[in-house]
Amino acid sequence: MSVVRDLILQADDDLRYPTSGELRTMVDFLDQGAIRVSVVRVLTDNEKKIVDESARQLFARKPDYVAPGGNAYGQRQRAQCLRDYSWYLRLVTYGVLAGSTEMIQDIGLIGAREMYNSLGVPMPGMVEAMKTMKDASIALLSDQQVKIAAPYFDFLIQGMQTST
């Protein structure tokens, strides 16, 4: 769930104290705390802007999604699509805060694959949607913040690609 928790649990499972390398990892993680919080603050404060820009980019690239018969055609389907953007953005913020992809994997990928497949939502479209969300998000972040946030978006995108 978090770098610190995972390292402590691993040491406890092995009935030992954390190693010097594990302690350095914890210090590095804790030293990045302020920048992690700043990333989450930017993403959270700009959620609507990110979601709107992501949708604009996606539907410009894939107009068939909002055309009759498309998965985002109609007010209800489009609202559900935008809701999913917000949900995934929130999962990315959890990952950034925890320094772990575990929640993105457990909550955002495993169950979502099953749900999208059962609803007939094409996974390549979800991959493209997450790419546009990453683009819209990193446009608002500093270079230092992008280095922290990008791996979590990339993990999400890669996870969706492997399920296509």
pLDDT tens string for the chain (164 positions)? Answer: 688 899 999 999 999 999 999 999 999 999 999 999 999 999 999 999 999 999 999 999 999 999 998 888 889 988 888 888 999 999 999 999 999 999 899 888 887 777 787 777 788 888 999 999 999 999 999 999 999 999 999 999 999 887 55
Q: Any idea which fold 32-161 has?
A: Globin-like (1.10.490)
Closest CA to 56 of 139, 134, 154, 133: 133
Write down the domain spans for the chain.
1-31, 32-161
pTM > 0.95: no
Find how far residue 40's CA is from the centre of its chain: 11
Residue 94 tokens read as 């959890």
DSSP string, 60-123: HH-GGGTSTTSTT-SHHHHHHHHHHHHHHHHHHHHHHHHT-SHHIIIIIIIHHHHHHHHHT--H
